[in-house]
Structure 1
């Protein structure tokens, strides 16, 4: 009998290209932590300033240090004339392809690297906005549980204002292009990967999970709306549960809210080829960070981990995970949802693709206030 699984995660692999702000990891006591705040609680000017900084990164020329080590034939070639923001897509595609070919121990989804790596990555992006583009406001997150009971409204954090809004949903009649907000079709914002295009979003209540990652033995539950996986009761249950049990906390968070937000927003956020893409475009999770909403989404994932860590003493330093994805069949995945052996330790290196001036290890990011990081959540 095939194994049944109601939650399946889109395998997303991301690599940071923002080394100049990553720098060497230094131990220090954090005496004045920055406070990260929910996007909708920020004044309009602060939202506009954050968007301006993102657009600034999208206008800066690529850095010569950002060069892919290979140019695999199954992904778009590196665009040396693209922006600093565009480089995210290029380098994430490269690592994803390398990992598939070499089965490298650098996977950052379905392994123990998932939460630590994304904590480092979101912080690195935040520091880039500040050091490269002068942002001085709060680092935002997107609380998907807020809003009206309507699924579409609950997902909607993207106000439509042209200067301070993230934009809304696209429509089939316009190839799902985002037509409002600061990253709309009428703006200059154009992601370069998998080819230059207008950013797009396609609200998808029932994602076709059975077509995303075909793992032998899985039977997906396609009848559950995506939005049922990131309601307030679901998120509170994750934060309040799994006392001292990092493995099941991580697996539930990654396969549940994290995945279904990506798939519900769809479009660039889910790594789906845009309508009208060239025939050689391959739908893949490698360019999910094309959408600036990605960074608010993963800040919320980090916030859930932060709140869980502070819920019980046994949660603070709890950790368990392997370094290798085990997606070859249902049995392997259910046994190793947070990665198979070799297992990680606090001395394990976080993969930065050589873009940090010194190694970053897991213990560096287990706390947001003890070590190189210095922030808390409201």
Structure 2
């Protein structure tokens, strides 16, 4: 049966409570930290040799679609009424808007060490200790909006710049691709600093803390953020129905990216699934 992913700002109090409770239980069972480990393992920059799947590659979107589905299945084993809500950061744009409320994700971190002190995922409440990361920090950290060096969330106009591109992805199929929907949404831009962080990437930077880097799945907002990214991919597909995942075929042996990116019908690690099989989610879930 097809289930629904909702805008987080429309969740009822009961839906908020059940989502939080399911997340905390998946964490308590030890399953959540396996998702964090997987994201760290597959966060491979395009400056390294070897296959890239999670980021800086055409599989950015299908990889995270499957990753979200796996987390959602874990939540639904706890409570089959729960689905992953999406956070529309083009509309809910302030540090006090949903989802940064005490009954959902809590707020920003305190100024001294960026430790989140409010909400159900605050370290002091005992249910959300960072066990897997790239540092030894045990508590969830955020620096919403970076007050010391302010950064704004992407706008609807920024998103439209990605949605309007009729081509899914283009060579060199990495963070330097200047054309194509995938990288315009993923958000690797030219230059350094804030000007180079666009759409998806800019949201990670706006949140700060663990969301900046490979261990970003430690912050529960990761899933709401990527659910919205997934929704944007769905909108792009609806707008460009004849434009599919690229590259369509494995890259030639002489191509600089040969062996580093996954073609449409090749299996995408760590799963035995292809990007083509993940292009249509309509038989599993829908967005409202």
TM bin, normalised by shorter chain, reads: 0.7 to 0.9
SS of alignment partner, residue 210 of structure 2: helix
Matching of residue 172 in structure 1 with residue 96 in structure 2: no
For 1:66-81, list aligned pairs within 5 A: none
Give 1:90 shift. Answer: 3.2
- Which residue number corresponds to residue 227 of structure 1? 152
- Map 1:144-183 → 2, pairs under 5 A: 144-147=89-92, 152=95, 156-161=97-102, 164-173=103-112, 175-183=113-121
Alignment counterpart, residue 2 of structure 2, candidates 18, 23, 33: 33
CA separation in 1, counterparts of 2:68 and 2:274? Answer: 16
Compare the two structures and name the one with the higher strand fraction. Answer: 1
Q: CA deviation at 1:37?
A: 0.8
Query: Which residue of 236, 258, 271 maps to 2:160?
Result: 236
Q: How many residues align?
A: 262
1:200-215 map, 5 Å: 200-205=141-146
The reply on whether 1:90 has 2:40 as its aligned counterpart is: no
**2:39, 2:217 within 8 Å by CA — same for their partners in 1?**
no
Give the match for residue 123 of structure 1.
69
Q: Cα offset for 1:307?
A: 0.6
Q: For residues 25-52 of structure 1, what are the alpha-carbon distances to aligned partners after superposition, in whole Å with 9 as ceiling and x for unaligned?
A: xxxxxxx422211111110110110110
Instruction: Pick 1 or 2: higher relative contact order, CA cutoff 8 A, min separation 6.
Output: 1
Unmatched 5+ residue regions in structure 1? 1-31, 61-82, 209-224, 271-284, 325-335
Q: Which has the larger radius of gyration?
A: 1
Rounded Cα–Cα distance in structure 1 between residues aligned with 2:119 and 2:28:
18
1:264 maps to: 206
- How far is the alpha carbon of 1:260 from its aligned partner? 0.5
- The answer (yes or no) to whether the contact 2:72–2:84 under 8 Å persists in 1 is yes
- The separation in 2 between residues aligned to 1:197 and 1:323, in whole angstroms, is 42
> Structure 2 CA distance, aligned partners of 1:245 and 1:183?
36
The equivalent position to 2:28 in structure 1, one of 50, 59, 64, is: 59
Residues in 2 aligned to 1:246 and 1:101: alpha-carbon distance in whole angstroms: 19
Q: Is the 8 A contact 2:53 2:268 kept in 1?
A: no
Please tell me whether the aligned partners of residues 18 and 82 of structure 2 are also in contact (alpha carbons under 8 angstroms): yes
User: Residue deviations 1:142-161, cap 9 Å, x none?
Assistant: 1001136xx545xx433433
Q: Structure 1 184/135 Cα, relative in aligned 2: closer, same or farther at 3 Å?
A: farther
Q: Give the 5 Å matches for 1:1-378.
A: 32-60=1-29, 83-96=30-43, 103-131=49-77, 133-147=78-92, 152=95, 156-161=97-102, 164-173=103-112, 175-188=113-126, 189-194=128-133, 195=136, 197-205=138-146, 226-227=151-152, 230-239=154-163, 241-247=164-170, 248-255=180-187, 256-270=198-212, 285-315=213-243, 317-320=244-247, 340-342=257-259, 344-352=262-270, 356=271, 359-369=272-282, 374-378=284-288
For 2:215 and 2:227, how far apart are their aligned partners in 1? 18
Distance 2:49 2:250 in 1: 11
TM-score normalized with structure 1 length:
0.62
Maintained 8 Å contact 1:368/1:375: yes
Q: Is the 8 A contact 1:170 1:179 kept in 2?
A: yes
Would the aligned equivalents of 1:205 and 1:264 in 2 still touch at CA under 8 Å? yes
Distance 1:201 1:53 in 2: 22
Aligned equivalents of 2:161 and 2:111: distance in 1? 36
Judge conservation of contact 1:111–1:321 (CA < 8 Å) in 2: no
Alpha-carbon distance in 2 for matches of 1:318, 1:84: 31
Q: Is the 8 A contact 1:346 1:363 kept in 2?
A: yes
Distance 2:167 2:148 in 1: 32
Q: Distance in 2 between matches of 1:286 and 1:177?
A: 19
Q: 3-state SS of the aligned residue for 1:340?
A: coil
- Separation of aligned partners in 2, 1:322 and 1:190: 43
Q: CA RMSD in A?
A: 3.0
For residues 285-304 of structure 1, the C-alpha deviation after alignment (integer angstroms, 9 at most, x for no partner) is 22110001101111111110
